[in-house]
Structures are given as C-alpha cells and as structure tokens.
Amino acid sequence: MFTLAHISDVHLGPLPRLTLRELASKRITGYVNWHRNRRKHLFGSTLEMILADIASRAPDHIAITGDLVNLATGTEIRKATEWLATVGAPADVSVVPGNHDAYVPGAGSRSTSAWYPYMCGDDAPAERNLGEHAFPYMRRRGPVALIGCSTAVATPPFTASGYFGPRQARDLVKLLRQAGEEGLFRIVMIHHPPIRGATTAYKRMLGIRRFAAALSLGGAELVLHGHTHLNTLHWIRLRGGGQVPVLGIASASQGPGSHRPCAAYNLLTVSGAPGAWKLACDRYGLDPRSMTIGPEHRQILIE
C-alpha cells in the first residue's frame, strides 16, 4: 500500500515589497489583485494547519501541483525554496510549476532552477537550468510512478492559460509506457486541468486534446491538478477504452469567507497490483465553523 498527499495552489504570502521595475510588467495586475482579493482569503496559518494534518497521517509522499508563489519575484522564489525544505526532503516531495510560478518572462526558468531538487526525475542530470526541458520527469516510489508535467508559461495581463506542447506530449508517452512496462501505478501531475470547460477560457489549458492522446497512447491510472481552487473529479476517456480519474483540489491556503471552498488536501491510497489496482481518495479540509481540519469526503476511484 502507498499513500500520497496532494496539495496545490499554495500562493505563499504576504507579498514582498516590490520595486518599480518589478511592477512595470504584468505584475502590476497581480499586485492589485492580491491586495484587493487574495490577501483577504489566503492565509499562511491555514496552510500550516493543512501541513500539520498531513504530517499526522504520515503519507509516503507529497505531491504539489503548482502555484507556490504569486508574482514570481526573486524574493518569493527564495522564500518558496525555504518553505519546501520545511515540507519535506526532495526525495519525499514532488512539485510541478503553475502559471504564477512563471508569471512573467524568465520567471519560469528561475523557479524551476531553484526548486529543481523537487522536480527532477530519478535519472535527471545534475544541471538545474533546464527550463521547459525538465518536463516531463518521472520518479519511482514504491509501486507508484510520479510523472510531472508543466503547463507553466508567461502570459499577457488578464490571462492565466497554460500550454502543453508536442515535445512534452511525446516524452510523456515514452515515460508512461516505460512505467507501465515496469508494472507501476502511473500518476500524472499537472497544474492546469486537462478538461474542457473545467475553467474559464482565459485560464484554460492549451493542448487538452494532445494531453488526452498522450494518455491514450501511453496509459495512466490517475491525473492530479490544481489551478481552479476547487475540489473536483473528472474523467478522461481513453481511445482504446477505459477512463482515467482527474482530481483537482482547493487552494491549500484558502481561508473561510470566500466563494471558493476552504483549504483541503487529497490523501490517496494505492493498493493492489498491475491489472488489479485499487485507488481510494480521502479528502480532508478546513471546517470554517470549528477552524479545524477534518474528513470531508471519501471516494473509491478504482476497485
């Protein structure tokens, strides 16, 4: 049996003091949005409660599906690097970047370089400055293959879309097939939901059909994503038959008082063997009345 905790959209705050040069970009819109909206509902104390509850359940691994920061400034990226060290060792925590981690041109390569120990494959080279070519990566942990993809790209103001391109799709197929041949339970991590209609047009993932084709060709058992700040379950139907569950999760920092659900995490339990896998998902979240973390929902996704 293998247990995996899944969190997303950490959005570490508060925002550092920004220079005029940093604000002379798309960051000005994000800066205004933070002070008008996000800072009222995203709390570090909530994130600490979520992480404490995860620690009490001692999962085998933790998956973080993007948006560790807000505007991807140098200060934020450094603080996120320090924060990751408190979550766990690189061998025990796997990360993929979100659109906020690549908020402006150049930010994506800086964040992936800083967090490289948490988003490199088992056979990855030591170099940190690999940019988009660091993805997809694969990590083998017990009976599970964790495969991290990136949709994180810098976008114009008032957009938050992601991109999954042909090169990454080809490499994903290879890793999925390899993991399948090794008899591993394949979990794909990605930030944007690879589902049509899962979010608004300006936040969507470009390459949804390409991603589904990669899963059909390579095979997979589960997809984890973030971005929407919602607790969701969708399914991707494979061309040859069958379907793959696609799980989203609320922001790990979301406090009460918003139209978004309060902070939560998925605790996934994988058991069985190839051809007879079993997968259960228990969701734990913040109760706004008691301000404690407790069980919210249980689903048997594969039996």
User: Is residue 33 scored above 80 in pLDDT?
Assistant: no
pLDDT in tens, 219-265: 999 999 999 999 999 999 999 889 999 999 999 999 888 888 999 99
pLDDT confidence of residue 15: 67
- Residue spans of beta strands (DSSP E) within the chain: 2-7, 61-65, 93-96, 137-141, 144-148, 162-163, 185-189, 205-206, 222-224, 232-237, 243-248, 264-271, 278-287, 292-302
| 16 cis-preceded (ω within 30 degrees of 0) | no
Separation of alpha carbons 66 and 192, rounded Å:
9
- For 126-133, what is the mean pLDDT? 58
| Block residue for tokens 């905790």 | 5
Residue 9: band (very low, low, confident or very high) from pLDDT cuts 50, 70, 90:
very high
pTM of the model: 0.93
Q: Where are the domains of the chain?
A: 2-302
Q: Which CATH superfamily is domain 2-302 in?
A: Metallo-dependent phosphatases (3.60.21.10)
Residue 14: band (very low, low, confident or very high) from pLDDT cuts 50, 70, 90:
confident
Please give the residue that has the higher pLDDT: either 23 or 216. 216
- For 95-107, what is the mean pLDDT? 94
Please give the residue that has the higher pLDDT: either 95 or 241. 95
pLDDT confidence of residue 173: 98
